[in-house]
Structure 1
Amino acid sequence: MGTFEELVAEGAAVPLEGWDFSWFEGRATEERPPWGYAGLIAARLAVVSSALDLQTGGGEVTASAPVLPPRMVATESWPPNAVVASRRLPLVVRVPDDGPLPFRSGVFDLVISRHPVVTPWEEVARVLKPGGTYFSQQIGAGTNRELTDFMMGPQPVGEARGTPAARAGAEAAGLEVLKLEPVSLRVEFFDVGAVVHFLRKVLWTVPGFTVEGYRDRLLDVHSHIQEHGRFACTSTRFLVEARKY
């Protein structure tokens, strides 16, 4: 498996572009939500004439759909991801995560987003056509809190990512919430290198994470995995669907 130093160095060297998590195969697992988000958006993309993918990452999920609408646009804020996404999708626009969106009002039948950093509800409502829908899989409150607390000590769980906040944001923007379905999922890391790469990639788990700044805690993670065979935690996800009146 490698020494602590070898594993940490390996996890620190993996490129961060895109949202392809195939590097973790055999080194970490995450239980999948039961609804199959990629299949759900593929079905929706196949029957609309225009769609917007917010915060697309590397465009992996949307590009996996067999049929894209005639007008398919994506946004991404991080330049390396935008470059990767541009190879997969017809049009990718650099836009800050919290907007504003550089599109006319009422132009999209469908707005989608997988794991957005933030949802600009007012902008989503503005760019949707009447009767259009927003469909998103989001990260819930307190996701992977066991790992966060292990690295940083006990942390308060904010509700900015919770389902009540999503409902409130959607309704305040004038959208009707059709679906709001939460789920808890088991996550397991089998070596400290996987933990390092994950913390570099999923920045909100341990804000400000660096290998040097958290070397002592990483050594404790390594010892925990050696003793127990894994470091286990719980991720939270929810599916939200909302319609513009």
Structure 2
Amino acid sequence: MKVDDRFEHYINEARQAFSGWDFSYITGSGRMQLQLLPWSLGSILIPYIRCAKSLLDMGTGGGEFLSTLQPFPKITYATEGYPPNVPVARRKLEPLGVQVVYVEDDEKLPLPDRLFDVVMNQHESYAPSEIRRILADQGVFITQQVGGTDCYQINDLFGVPLNAEFAHWNLDYAASELRNHGFNVTFAREDYPVQRFYDVGALIYYLTAIPWQVPDFTVDRYRDELNHIHEWIQLQGYFEVRQHRFIMIASL
């Protein structure tokens, strides 16, 4: 099948810098769209944050989400484990009074015992034992997670299996794990919202930004598969996959 000029155009268009955790290059233009979840993490968090004296945001990325939840408690920290994101987060958050801490090991957070009234976590790994250690008495842990079957249709089309290490990661497993560490899970929901790509360049940009979906991804390696998706989009208008998300509120 002949690759048309639009395919090459989208490949070239995808060569854009990615910083922090900001997908606005493809979401702001509508090139990638996400179905709404049946909950809002921000709306859930705000009442807890307003009543807290101390707050931790785990895996802050570039601080994009946390910065929308101002005003913060007097003691507010953010952690980030991806080195290129750390200076991005510091530039955004430190002027707002947030201390940004680089973290290498979920099992050894460089944070004091029982410091935080609220620990928030959006799509970041965690160790329940460490969450329990750093939470203050009657503290609350609020996390939205990416489940183990996230966007599996991409992997199917690329002939790449999902990461077996996370295949078990779903609401039932995560909630049970927290309960086994002494938490009371007071709210839990799971959903599989639609995610659509309206051109193959948006998909390339996305896969380049999240290398764990297809770990060896390059355009040259998967050119035939990308061209197949491109032709599919020309016929159908979009390439659709299913996300996997779940949310929990847990307290001590």
Q: TM-score, normalised by structure 1?
A: 0.92
Q: 1:111-133 deviations in whole A, cap 9, x for unaligned?
A: 001111x2211111110012101
**Residues 155 and 162 in structure 2, CA contact (< 8 A), matched pair in contact too:** yes
Task: Give 1:44 deviation, angstroms.
Answer: 1.8
Q: Which sections of structure 1, spanning at least 5 residues, go unmatched?
A: none
Give the Cα separation in 2 of the matches to 1:179 and 1:2. 50
Matched residue pairs, number? 242
> What whole-Å deviation, never above 9, does each CA across 1:184-239 have from its counterpart, x for those lacking one?
10111010000001111222221221222212211111111112111011112111
Deviation at 1:97, TM superposition (A): 5.4
Match of 2:153 in 1: 146
Which of 70, 73, 96 aligns to 2:74? It is: 70
Aligned 8 A contact 1:186 1:235 in 2: yes
Select the residue among 10, 13, 16 that pairs with 1:7.
10
Moved more, 121-130 or 88-97: 88-97
Cα distance in 2, alignment partners of residues 103 and 163 from structure 1: 27
1:147/1:233 contact within 8 Å kept: yes
Question: Once superposed, which parts of structure 1, at least 4 consecutive aligned residues long, lie more than 6 Å away?
Answer: none
Partner of 1:104: 112
Contact 2:162–2:213 (CA<8 Å) still a contact in 1?
no
Aligned residues with identical type, % of pairs = 32
More displaced 10-residue stretch of structure 1: 149-158 or 221-230 = 149-158
Contact 1:28 1:189 in 2 (8 A): yes
**Selected match of 1:23 from 9, 22, 25:** 25
Amino acid in structure 2 at the alignment position of 1:66: Q
Mark the CA change 1:139 to 1:155 in structure 2 (over 3 Å): closer, same or farther.
closer
Provide the residue aligned with 1:59 in structure 2. Answer: 63
TM-score by length of 2: 0.90
The 5 A counterparts of 1:26-175 are: 26-89=30-93, 90-96=98-104, 98-116=106-124, 118-152=125-159, 158-175=166-183
CA distance in 2, matches of 1:241, 1:178: 6
Partner of 2:234, secondary structure, is helix
- Could you give the per-residue CA deviations for residues 133-183 of structure 1, whole angstroms, max 9, x where no partner exists? 100111123111111211125658753321122112212322111111001
Counterparts of 2:105 and 2:33 in 1: how far apart (Å)? 28
Maintained 8 Å contact 1:110/1:128: yes
Gaps of 5+ in 2: none
CA 129–155 in structure 1, closer or farther in 2 if over 3 Å, else same: closer
Cα pair 1:31 1:185 within 8 Å, conserved: yes
Deviation at 1:9, TM superposition (A): 2.1
- What residue is the counterpart of 1:188 in the other structure? 196
Q: Deviations over 1:4-59 (max 9, x none)?
A: 12211221x22221122211132110112121112222232111000111111111
State the superposition RMSD in angstroms.
Answer: 1.9
Given that residues 42 and 62 in structure 1 are in contact (C-alpha distance below 8 angstroms), is that contact kept between their aligned partners in structure 2?
A: no
Alignment partners' CA distance in 2, 1:88 and 1:41? 20
Q: Distance in 2 between matches of 1:130 and 1:169?
A: 20
Paired residue type of 2:42: A
Match of 2:207 in 1: 199
Given residue 134 of structure 1, which amino acid in structure 2 is its aligned partner? F
